[in-house]
Amino acid sequence: MLILLAGIFVLHILIIILLLVATIDNAWWITEDMNTDVWARWIFQNGAWNYTDLPTGSHYPTDYLQAVQASSVLACIFSIIAIFVFLAQLFTLPKGQRFIISGVFQFLACLCIMIAASIYTDRFHRDESKGNYGHCFILAWIAFGLSFFSSIIYFVLRKKTA
């Protein structure tokens, strides 16, 4: 059981790292001379990457962009809270009640990153023929899958002894 709990802890740390990289790094949409994330746009000019604000208008609706930003940050926060709750529940709660709260927080993180990636997929870069989704976008979807799997594991483990 100790090896299983250690594996879950390592999986949870991996999920937190993936969520933080997906939220912070600048590669949700990439072209040859531009990287865009949920915070800013980086344009390659004169041999250097230059920081610029995201464009406004129909290509970047502000309300959807803020929803993506908020959901990404909330996913990170919920996942970090879940790991601390996991550690606290491991030593304080009796069998049958363990891991329920950490599973709920991890499921909330799963939902938040799914919402962020879904909105980004649906509302941004629909008209652009040049460019691809970057590694941060892909990491967000991978983090969604892993956090969903992790939350299911927490709900299954609530009956196990530690």
Residue 79's CATH number: 1.20.140.150
Region of 84 (left: φ > 0; alpha: ψ -120 to 50; beta: rest) is alpha
For 48, 124, 147, the CA distances from 82, given in Å and listed in that order, are 40, 30, 11
pTM value is 0.89
Query: Which residue segment(s) compose the domain that 132 sits in?
Result: 2-157
Whether residue 64 is contained in a domain is answered as: yes
Determine the longest span between alpha carbons in the chain, in angstroms.
62
Please give the pLDDT value at position 56.
Answer: 79
Specify whether the CB–CB gap between 34 and 82 falls below 8 A.
no
- Cα separation, 132 vs 94, in Å, equals 49
- Structure tokens belonging to residue 139: 């990491």
Whether residue 162 is contained in a domain is answered as: no
| Segment 63-98, tens digit of pLDDT | 999 999 999 999 999 999 999 998 888 878 666 667
| Segment 29-70, tens digit of pLDDT | 999 999 988 999 999 998 898 999 888 777 788 899 999 999
